[in-house]
């Protein structure tokens, strides 16, 4: 600890006692996460339990001009929880209360540390659910901060579409309430949308009011494999254009299917494969599944789930995809890309980047939420091998450049953090300057998760 931090440490130790942590174990846990980026530890960690305690920490850090890094579950992939400038990590995982559920209005209010799994377990008896379906065990505050989406975005959208309002603590400790519970409003600036996706750089989200959805009457799941990935992606585009009752439509390439078979001990066809789920009333679902099977007339195999248990089995296989990919090279996290392009550009983007991968030695399984044009490559490379590092970085940069040139984005759901900020100028141009002005206006001392999204 430097002499400059001593007064702040004394103040926080007096306020939080044994919830103020400076051990190497605590600092390492809060400065590593799931990212492929090198760890960057905070100087200390504060375990908070209320919005008021978050405000206390921020007032103290503002007074001493010390950086603050919000922490939820640590599942971020682009280094959002890293502390490259040191500072205080605020761990909000204990803020995990479901404050209210209003069944008649189909909304709820939760603290930021509630996970989507815990919320849906709580909602089970109400006939409602929260539809954003990530692979990670993430907190809802973190999901809002990174504007997360997941497998059901094709039907329900991302966190941007499902957050009605929130409580946010500003850098100076002011507690701000944004939005409300009305389904629409024309009153003033949309500060809720400003905070969704801000990755802790403008304030810290402590409570959220969320839209809920009704559990559908019927659902059907299918898996279908194709000879080529072009055939698979063209089927996706046709299914979307037909307006079918799609809830999820996911894609894996041949390499990913091989990884899944090894990891899950399955015997699935090792060809480009779609997982598809239709939901709605029973008649519509049955009709749309028939249409979908007709659209996939060039599929090598089209398998409908026999029942709910069979469907659950199929989706468990899909959710194991990241771990299956990593198991191809044990001990290596790799870079998990997440570009998103307009649906019409999806076949070309995937085809072109796979041609680039073929010129390298990198193993790169592909998996994606292709119903909204978002897909991932897991670039498995040895960080100690200079050639592999160079090849992986080349693939990642080439993919982002392709996506932006096609009218897409460098990140569809993982956020910017440290890993993607080099691409923001190309994507946003002069708008990046406006973002910097907003940051300076709300956080003049640049203490809120500095170095993330862009540099000042």
Q: Does residue 449 fall inside a structural domain? A: no
Output the pTM of the full model: 0.93
Q: Within 10 Å of residue 106's Cβ, how many Cβ atoms?
A: 16
- The three-state secondary structure class of 291 is helix
Residues 226 and 197 in one domain: no
Query: Does 347 fall in a domain?
Result: yes
Q: Mark which of 154, 187, 214 sits at the end of a domain.
A: 214
Same domain, 361 and 376: yes
- 262 and 332 in a single domain? The answer is yes
Tell me, yes or no, whether 247 and 228 share the same domain. yes
- The answer as to whether 279 is a domain residue is yes
Q: Does 308 lie in the same domain as 193?
A: no
The token duo for 376 is: 């991932």
* Res 245 pLDDT > 80: yes
Tokens of 83: 């502390």
Counting residues of the chain whose pLDDT is more than 70, the rounded percentage is 100
Maximum mean pLDDT: which of 31-35, 87-91, 314-318, 343-347: 87-91
Which CATH number covers residue 390? 3.40.462.10
Binned at pLDDT 50, 70 and 90, residue 195 comes out as very high
Average pLDDT over residues 414-434: 96
Here the CATH number for the domain that contains residue 80 is 3.30.43.10
d(CA 438, CA 52): 25
Q: Is the CB of residue 163 less than 8 Å from the CB of residue 179?
A: yes
pLDDT of 283 reads: 96
Q: Look at residue 2 and tell me whether its pLDDT is greater than 80.
A: no
The answer on 393 and 296 residing in a single domain is yes
**Averaged pLDDT, 401-419:** 96
Whether residue 441 lies inside any domain: the answer is no
Q: Report pLDDT digits (tens) over 331-364.
A: 887 899 999 999 889 999 999 999 999 999 999 9
Sequence-separated (6 or more) residues with CB below 8 Å from residue 282: 217, 218
Q: Is residue 255 part of a domain?
A: yes
Q: What SS3 class is residue 387?
A: helix
373 and 265 both lie in a single domain = yes
- CA 96, distance to chain mean position in Å, is 19
Average pLDDT (1-26) is 93
Average pLDDT over residues 71-92: 96
Residues 228 and 346 in one domain: yes
**143: which residues sit within 8 A by CB, 6+ positions away?**
116, 132, 134, 159
- Sheet of 20-21: strands edge to edge? 20-21, 44-47, 88-91, 68-71
Residue 33: its pLDDT value, please?
83
**Co-location of 260 and 398 in the same domain:** yes
Give the end of a domain, one of 405, 426, 445. 405
Give the pLDDT confidence score for residue 28 in this predicted structure. 96
The CATH number for 200's domain is 3.30.465.10
The 10s digit of each residue's pLDDT in 200-243 is 999 999 999 999 999 999 999 999 999 999 999 999 989 999 99
Decide if 452 is inside a domain.
no
What pLDDT does 1 receive? Answer: 58
CA separation (Å) from 14 to 19, 89, 203, 204? 10, 17, 24, 22
In a domain, 299, yes or no: yes
Q: What is the pLDDT of residues 100-152, one digit of tens each?
A: 999 999 999 999 999 999 999 999 999 999 999 886 789 999 999 999 998 89
Q: Are residues 57 and 148 in the same domain?
A: no
d(CA 427, CA 395): 18
Mean pLDDT of 401-409: 97
* Spatial distance between the Cα atoms of 108 and 283, rounded to a whole number of angstroms: 31
Q: Is residue 426 part of a domain?
A: no
Q: Are residues 22 and 43 in the same domain?
A: yes
Domain that holds residue 382: 218-405
| pLDDT value of residue 170 | 98
The reply to whether 77 and 172 lie within a common domain is no
- State how many domains the chain has: 3
Judged on CB neighbours under 10 Å (0-12, 13-18, 19+), 430 is exposed
Q: What is the mean pLDDT of the chain?
A: 95
Q: Which of 386, 405, 424 is the last residue of a domain?
A: 405
């Amino acid at each position: 600890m430097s002499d400059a931090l001593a007064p702040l440490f004394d103040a926080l130790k007096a306020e939080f006692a044994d919830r103020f942590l400076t051990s190497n174990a605590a600092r390492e846990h809060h400065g590593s996460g799931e990212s492929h980026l090198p760890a960057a530890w905070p100087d200390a960690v504060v375990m908070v339990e209320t919005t008021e305690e978050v405000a206390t920490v921020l007032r103290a850090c503002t007074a001493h001009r010390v950086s603050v890094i919000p922490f939820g579950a640590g599942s971020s992939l682009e280094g959002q929880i890293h502390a490259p400038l040191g500072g205080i990590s605020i761990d909000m995982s204990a803020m995990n209360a479901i404050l209210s559920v209003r069944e008649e209005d189909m909304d709820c209010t939760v603290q930021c540390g509630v996970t989507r799994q815990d919320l849906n377990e709580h909602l089970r008896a109400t006939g409602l659910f929260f539809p954003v379906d990530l692979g990670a065990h993430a907190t809802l505050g973190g999901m809002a901060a990174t504007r997360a989406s997941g497998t059901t975005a094709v039907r329900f959208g991302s966190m941007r579409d499902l957050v009605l309002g929130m409580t946010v603590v500003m850098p100076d400790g002011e507690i701000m309430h944004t939005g409300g519970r009305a389904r629409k409003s024309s009153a003033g600036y949309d500060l809720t949308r400003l905070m969704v996706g801000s990755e802790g750089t403008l304030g810290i989200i402590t409570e959220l009011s969320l839209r809920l959805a009704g559990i559908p009457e019927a659902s059907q799941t299918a898996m279908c494999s194709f000879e080529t990935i072009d055939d698979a992606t063209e089927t996706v585009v046709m299914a979307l254009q037909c307006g079918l009752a799609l809830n999820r439509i996911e894609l894996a390439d041949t390499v990913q299917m091989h990884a899944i078979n090894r990891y899950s001990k399955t015997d699935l066809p090792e060809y480009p494969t779609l997982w598809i789920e239709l939901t709605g009333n029973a008649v519509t679902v049955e009709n749309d599944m028939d249409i979908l099977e007709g659209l996939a007339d060039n599929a090598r195999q089209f398998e409908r789930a026999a029942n709910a248990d069979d469907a659950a089995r199929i989706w468990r296989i899909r959710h194991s995809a990241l771990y299956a990919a990593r198991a191809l090279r044990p001990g290596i996290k790799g870079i998990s890309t997440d570009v998103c392009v307009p649906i019409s550009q999806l076949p070309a983007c995937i085809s072109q980047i796979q041609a680039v991968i073929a010129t390298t030695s990198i193993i790169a399984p592909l998996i994606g939420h292709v119903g909204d044009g978002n897909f991932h490559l897991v670039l498995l490379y040895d960080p100690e091998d200079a050639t592999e590092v160079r090849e992986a970085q080349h693939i990642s940069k080439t993919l982002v450049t392709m996506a932006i040139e096609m009218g897409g984005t460098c990140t569809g759901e993982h956020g910017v953090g440290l890993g993607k900020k080099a691409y923001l100028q190309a994507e946003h141009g002069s708008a990046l300057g406006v973002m910097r002005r907003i940051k300076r206006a709300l956080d003049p001392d640049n203490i809120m998760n500095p170095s993330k999204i862009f540099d000042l």
